[in-house]
């Protein structure tokens, strides 16, 4: 297990997460992730809530659908993590990690919504919609 830290651009919000080698880390190409991040794809790692904690400040939430709440820094806007209403998982943005190289994506999801000029990683499985999660 690796203990990783991360947070927002301005430093107002920080978190820690415990990462296990089998955790699903996907690059999501869905419209919501593109709009929330301003990028063509958004890489995440999924962990159980017991392995994630905000350690400084408080993130601000936005319920973009009935399926999930997106959390970001209310000061600088950095997208940090996403939660589901059932409390099954926390999806942490890899770009907000202090050491983003610590976790490599293992799959790609929502390729049906990918913009045409965004390439796929031929070395990773790709799913038309959500990749399978075992949480």
Q: Report CA-CA distances (Å) from 33 to 11, 57, 66, 107.
A: 22, 23, 15, 15
pTM of the full predicted structure? Answer: 0.92
pLDDT in tens, 111-129: 999 999 999 999 999 999 9
Q: What ranges do the domains of the chain cover?
A: 2-113
pLDDT exceeds cutoff 70 at 133: no
Task: Please compute the mean of the pLDDT values over residues 60-72 and round it to a whole number.
Answer: 90
Stated as kind and residue range, the H or E segment containing 36 is: helix 31-37
Domain 2-113, CATH class in plain words = mainly beta
pLDDT in tens, 84-97: 989 999 999 999 99
């Amino acid at each position: 297990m690796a203990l990783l830290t991360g947070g927002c651009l301005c430093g107002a919000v920080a978190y820690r997460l415990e990462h296990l080698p089998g955790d699903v880390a996907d690059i999501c190409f869905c419209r919501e992730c593109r709009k929330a991040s301003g990028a063509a794809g958004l890489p995440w790692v999924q962990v159980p809530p017991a392995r994630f904690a905000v350690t400084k400040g408080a993130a601000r939430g936005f319920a973009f659908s009935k399926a999930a709440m997106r959390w970001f820094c209310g000061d600088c806007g950095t997208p940090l993590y996403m939660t589901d209403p059932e409390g099954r998982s926390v999806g942490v943005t890899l770009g907000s990690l202090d050491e983003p190289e610590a976790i490599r994506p293992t799959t790609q999801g929502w390729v049906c919504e990918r913009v045409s000029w965004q390439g796929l990683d031929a070395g990773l499985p790709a799913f038309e919609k959500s990749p399978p999660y075992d949480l």
